[in-house]
Chain A
Amino acid sequence: MRYLDEFSDPDLARRLLDQIHAAATRPWALMEVCGGQTHSIIRHGIDQLLPKGVEMIHGPGCPVCVTPLETIDKALAIAAQPGVIFCSFGDMLRVPGSGRDLFAVKSAGADVRVVYSPLDALTIARENPDKQVVFFGIGFETTAPANAMTVHQAERLGVGNFSLLVSHVLVPPAIAAIMESPRCRVQAFLAAGHVCSVMGTGEYPPLAAKYRVPIVVTGFEPLDILEGIRQTVVQLEAGRHEVGNAYPRAVPAEGNPVARAMLAEVFEVTDRTWRGIGMIPGSGWRLAPRYRPFDAEHRFAVTGIHTEESSLCRSGEVLQGLIKPHQCAAFGKQCTPRNPLGATMVSSEGACAAYYAYRRLDLVSIS
């Protein structure tokens, strides 16, 4: 695909790697915030090619991973109700709530459907006026505009049988929370490119200044990631802590003003519990009062559901970059992609699942 393939070129990747090797004189701990970047790093073996001291810490940037257990349980409860068509992105179907997942609810007779876009769920709602159609609206700032537009359309077109189970999360408060953590080792961030395509880069200079960390907006193809790492290392070596943009083709400084206006209309900031991490103040979006009638939590009266996470699982520490996935005792044993105990093993983008899938060989040879 044009503008993907060119950014995977092995020769140019080699040149960027040479530059990184030449620039890095000391060990550095960088965090890629986004799960898509984690996936790309491990899938292409990029971390194996970096200078020995340059360590990639995998961040909490997979929305599937960090969706609170409680929200999953609410989704399962809603999906199990008669007359409901529950629509979701594919990623969420295997996410376990307390004891079961959406696949299990489906096998018990619920109508659970995978869709590509929330607009597909809206179409299903219009085609099934006698059913309640619920879309599982998860995601970071990248996905929120799609869900916002869908709710907006539902209201405009009067699709009263549509609702959204919302659990949006926001990147900048998470970066702040990571830096505030007493055990934090992160010295620089690769910011999530597509989040910034929507939100722009304006939220990051205060964070870079306050925590004295370079933050480089980074894309997802191998060359994009290498360039993000290169810019970050160059800054670190020079003692700078600025906001850089290694993904300018998709990230203008102002982001997408049209999308941001829609987000401001449809959502309002709320505190959000991140699975495996805990509550981060002001780190989520929920529907604004005007759109509350489309909030599935209220429509299906599941607000009373409260659940707790497995004590065995250390995904919180993984998500905060405090331990690597394989340092958890349950990793690969009680906790596998097929039977995940925690958030990071859940999604194919979760750090543990990425390790499990792609790095087992290395882990074995290390031991």
Chain B
Amino acid sequence: MCLAVPGRVISITEADGTTMAEVDFGGVRKSVCLQYVPDAAVGEYVVVHVGFAIQRLDERSARETLENFERLGILKEEFR
């Protein structure tokens, strides 16, 4: 269900009383409704589903998760 992908907020505009954003998905750009993440700022990453940002993407958490994965491997190496 629910294909949602992370994209970077490029610009923020108002249209018909709705906060919209231009969001960049690695070169592909799409207009996205930002009503649900009103405090997202230009340059930040949001998770987008059917044209709506449904959540901010926590970049620090993403880095930590990857670092944890790297460590898992190293621990494993040491056990060998």
Complexed CA–CA distance, A362 and B42 (Å): 47
Stretch binding the partner chain, chosen from A44-52, A204-212, A250-258, A311-319: A250-258
User: Count the A residues whose beta carbon is within 8 Å of the partner chain — how many?
Assistant: 54
> Are B1 and A3 in touch, CB under 8 angstroms?
no
Q: In the complex where A12-B66, A156-B17 touch, is A142 in contact with B33 (Cβ < 8 A)? A: no
Complexed CA–CA distance, A189 and B54 (Å): 23
Q: In the complex where A1-B25, A149-B33, A349-B1 touch, is A197 in contact with B54 (Cβ < 8 A)? A: yes
> Are A142 and B69 in touch, CB under 8 angstroms?
no
Q: Name the prevailing secondary structure of the A interface residues.
A: helix
> Are B18 and A63 in touch, CB under 8 angstroms?
no
Judged by a CB distance under 8 angstroms, whether A241 is at the interface is no
> Are B76 and A19 in touch, CB under 8 angstroms?
yes
Convert B34-47 into 0s and 1s, putting 1 for each residue whose CB lies closer than 8 angstroms to a CB of A: 01111000000101
> Are A194 and B57 in touch, CB under 8 angstroms?
no
Of A139, A251, A258, which is within 8 A of B35 by CB?
A: A258
> Are B50 and A146 in touch, CB under 8 angstroms?
yes
Judged by a CB distance under 8 angstroms, whether A268 is at the interface is no
B-chain residues with CB within 8 Å of residue A223 when the two chains form the complex:
69
Complexed CA–CA distance, A259 and B35 (Å): 9
Q: Which of B's residues lie within 8 Å of A, judged by CB?
A: 1-8, 16-18, 25-26, 30, 33, 35-38, 45, 47, 49-52, 54-55, 57-59, 61-62, 64-66, 69-70, 72-73, 76
